[in-house]
Amino acid sequence: MQILVLGGAGYIGGHTSVVLTERGHQVVIADNFSNSSRAAVARLEQVVGAPLPLHELDVRDSVGLERVFSQYRFDAVMHFAALKAVGESCKKPLDYFDNNISGTITVLRAMSEANVRRLVFSSSATVYGDPEQVPVREDAPLQASNPYGRTKLVMEQLIGDLCTADPNFRAAVLRYFNPVGAHPSGLIGEDPNGPPNNLMPFMCQVAVGRRERLQVFGDDYPTVDGTGVRDYLHVMDLARAHVDALDYLCNKDRSVTVNLGTGSGVSVLQMVKAFERAAGKAIPYDIVARRLGDSATVFADPGLAHALLGWKAEHDLDAMCRDAWRWQALNPQGYGSIIQPD
Ligand code: NAD
Ligand code: UFG
């Protein structure tokens, strides 16, 4: 199939483009490079061993989108293009509403006009807010704890309304828990702008010498060692889930909303230990105050994704840390690094 990957130069869209290509699909990437670079796409091409058609495009640009849709005959769209920093969303909510919500409306309209009626959408465990119960099931109450989370909630609702209104429209809404790791080649990975907000990229930058110490946000949570517990998931498992979801949309001809996680909770200090094993070096850290808005424990019940898509996470924590570290060690400055040829 021919798939339009919006936000395909980014972390998860890039890894998914690789798996799509490996599974025989033709990928067309569109991205405005607000949080990525052309260098990332060049690396993707190195991984897949073929050129990938690329369009520099903002998903809010309806004319540009229409132009891209008119050049190809897409079977489906995968929509990764969003702003994703929780803290920034609290400071600049309008930017998030505009980029994420207006962007999604523009994408949905362009799809309708081009008669493309299969969508795989990046949602997030953030739609559960601070969950009352773990493991979290898809029928748990939904709530937004911040403007970023609100955009995900609203986008899910918009997509749901479109599925109701258009009997031929099918969507897979994928609620990711905590994606980490990188492609095993070490050629592509997560390359945040500025200081990383998330645990894994922060540890990677400490290990590679870009940052001095990790701050562990709170050790007084009601968890195994007092630190926050999350469901970390290898990005290659996550990428595979997108292609499985696409198969589901096309073969079963039904829409679906599923959690994507391993189903296991891991504390910050357990994660630090696993990373130290993988990197073969100590990660110096300080325990500091809790981060505003953090939950104690969030992990998925991934049973529905297994039942419906036949998907299950396969990589363990050691593989997540090993692959994240390989990427960072080979690319200390992310995509700005120069890789020595073999
Ligand atoms: P990312 O920032 O690496 O990738 C997003 C890509 O979309 C970037 O290349 C960016 O340049 C592009 N983009 C953003 N706004 C755009 C616009 N208006 N027009 C065109 N391109 C645009 O982020 P990611 O981690 O790969 O996340 C992908 C999706 O998954 C996002 O929707 C994010 O909200 C969601 N998600 C991510 C996580 C996570 O922890 N990484 C967790 C849950 C959900
Ligand atoms: N943490 C630290 N130090 C850091 C970074 C994180 O101790 O420097 C801790 C956090 O307090 C938390 C755990 O590590 O306990 C994981 O934090 P992340 O920031 O890596 O991940 P979150 O679960 O907080 O956030 C993720 C996504 C968000 C999404 C949220 C809810 O990054 O986009 O899940 O689903 F909104």
pLDDT at 43: 98
For residue 121, how many C-alpha atoms fall within 13 Å in the half-sphere facing its CB?
31
The residue from 96, 128, 148, 176 that is catalytic is 148
Span 109-133, average pLDDT: 97
Stretch 141-164: mean pLDDT, rounded? 97
**Closest residue by CA, ligand 2 atom 11:** 217
Cα(137)–Cα(144) distance, integer angstroms: 16
CB 61 within 8 A of CB 279: no
Q: What is the pLDDT of residue 337?
A: 75
Any ligand 1 atom below 6 A from CB of 122: yes
Per DSSP, the chain holds a count of helices (H) and strands (E) of 12, 13
d(CA 185, CA 133): 38
Contacts of 154 (CB under 8 A, 6+ apart): 101
Residue ID of nearest Cα to ligand 1 atom 9: 10
- Could you tell me the two tokens for 68? 């891209």
Question: Closest residue (by CA) to atom 28 of ligand 1?
Answer: 80
Ligand 1 mean position, distance from CA 220 (Å): 32
Give the distance (Å) from ligand 1 centre to CA of residue 207. Answer: 25
CB 325 within 8 Å of CB 189? no
Looking from the CA of residue 196, the nearest atom of ligand 2 is: 8
From the CB of 11, is ligand 1 less than 6 Å away?
yes
Sorted by where each begins, the domain ranges of the chain are: 2-336
Asked whether residue 340 carries a pLDDT value surpassing 70, the answer given is no
Residue 342 pLDDT level (bands cut at 50, 70, 90):
very low
> Can you give the pLDDT at residue 137?
98
Residues facing residue 173 across a β-bridge:
121, 257
CATH 3.40.50.720 fits domain 2-336: yes
Reduced to 3 states (helix: H, G, I; strand: E, B; else coil), residue 228 is: coil
Q: What is the pLDDT of residue 338?
A: 60
pLDDT band at 339 (very low <50, low <70, confident <90, very high): low
Residue 123 CA to ligand 1 centre (angstroms):
10
Average pLDDT, the chain: 97
Is the CB–ligand 2 distance for residue 176 below 6 Å? no
Residue 128 CA, closest ligand 2 atom number:
35
Decide if 232 is catalytic: no
What is the pLDDT at residue 341?
A: 45
User: Over 80: is that where the pLDDT of 40 sits?
Assistant: yes
Ligand 1 pocket, mutate which of 16, 29, 35 (most atoms under 8 A from CB) = 35
Alpha-carbon gap, residue 23 to 1, rounded angstroms: 10
